[in-house]
Amino acid sequence: MDIQENIPLSYYTTIGLGGEARYFVSVKSLEELQHALIFAKEKKISFFLLGRGSNTLFDDRGYNGLVILNRMNQCKIIDNQIQVDAGYSFANLGMKTAKKGFSGLEFASGIPGSVGGAVFMNAGANGKSTWDVLETITFIDEDRKLRKEEKTKFQSSYRFSSFQKTKSVIVSATFRLIKSSAAKDTYKKLLELRINSQPYGDKSAGCIFKNPTNEHAGALIDSCKLKGLSVGKAKVSDVHANFIVTEKGVSSQDIHKLITLIKHEVFDKKKIMLEQEVRIVPYQS
């Protein structure tokens, strides 16, 4: 494996933010992933699994450990069962399965994350979530043993899975879908909706906040007249208020200050405390 040092993380995030990783490696197989974890253990350093770089805010100082870029990218369709590596594009998975006439993952259209990230976060849209059609997860547990378990072995809820509370590493997932002649059209409609209603061409990390119960974070922020509000090179999107878009030269402090300001304004005017969906990765974890 080619373990590199002092690699800028801004190239690997959709928001274009992040200092340098002390160590950095791209893995394309289970064996390489296992070797990367051994390297981190031997060096006695923390590690962070990075997929497609969405939903992630690194520190301006970077990450003082090993960033493992997951490029494991195999996908197999056997009957209506989809076996797919964690590094595979979630958006591409939604497109591929819909085009082949399978329904269940059409909502993944345009979601700029990896399959592993989608399982980890229980990503979703339009009232659907990843764990709705998830069947099994293959992962490396905290004792560094390779395991495969049914999803019923874990907890999941809105934008949450048990993996958020462990140091386990998702390797692959299996989904069970259903045949549908309407899947392709549904996918196209959802993709068009996403493109027209979100800042699709701008740099962002995706949705910043979770939707509160019976509310939509974007609508709440918009109702507080915060669209266009900026701190430094970070701005609340004029297209969708639950997105923070950035310009070249943005700092993590710009985004943190803007997030704090949004939270305070929404709580002050609506008495609702927004909860972050985006993952903030500290320099030293």
User: Is 147 an annotated catalytic residue?
Assistant: no
Compute the distance between CA of residue 247 and CA of residue 92 in angstroms, rounded to an integer: 27
Compute the distance between CA of residue 19 and CA of residue 62 in angstroms, rounded to an integer: 4
Query: β-strands 134-140, 169-176: how paired?
Result: antiparallel
With CA atoms as reference, report the closest residue to 113 among 279, 260, 2, 248. 279
User: Is 22 an annotated catalytic residue?
Assistant: no
User: Is 159 an annotated catalytic residue?
Assistant: yes
Model confidence, pTM: 0.94
* 4-70 is classed CATH 3.30.43.10: yes
Compute the distance between CA of residue 43 and CA of residue 37 in angstroms, rounded to an integer: 10
What is the full per-residue pLDDT of the chain (285 aa) written as tens digits? 799 999 999 999 999 999 999 999 999 999 999 999 999 999 999 999 999 999 999 999 999 999 999 999 999 999 999 999 999 999 999 999 999 999 999 999 889 899 999 999 999 998 899 999 999 999 999 999 999 999 999 999 999 999 999 999 999 999 999 999 999 999 999 999 999 999 988 999 999 999 999 999 999 999 999 999 999 999 999 999 999 999 999 999 999 999 999 999 999 999 999 999 999 999 987
Q: For domain 75-183, which CATH number applies: 3.40.50.300, 3.30.930.10, 3.40.1800.10, 3.30.465.10? A: 3.30.465.10
Record the tokens describing residue 35, joined without a space. 């070797």
First to last CA, the chain: 24
**Contacting residues for 21 by C-beta, under 8 A, at least 6 apart:** 6, 7, 9, 62, 63, 65, 66, 67
Compute the distance between CA of residue 140 and CA of residue 142 in angstroms, rounded to an integer: 7
How would you label 169-188 residue by residue, b for 16+ Cβ within 10 Å and e otherwise? Answer: bbbbbbbebeeeeebbebbe
- Among the listed residues 207, 215, 275, 279, the single catalytic one is 207
With CA atoms as reference, report the closest residue to 40 among 158, 175, 167, 202. 167
pLDDT score of 110: 83
- Among the listed residues 22, 52, 71, 159, the single catalytic one is 159
With CA atoms as reference, report the closest residue to 171 among 34, 26, 45, 66. 34
Fold of 203-281: 3.90.78
The domain ranges of the chain are 4-70, 75-183, 203-281
Compute the distance between CA of residue 96 and CA of residue 98 in angstroms, rounded to an integer: 6
- Among the listed residues 20, 32, 106, 277, the single catalytic one is 277
Compute the distance between CA of residue 198 and CA of residue 120 in angstroms, rounded to an integer: 23
Which 3 state secondary structure label does DSSP give 40?
Answer: helix
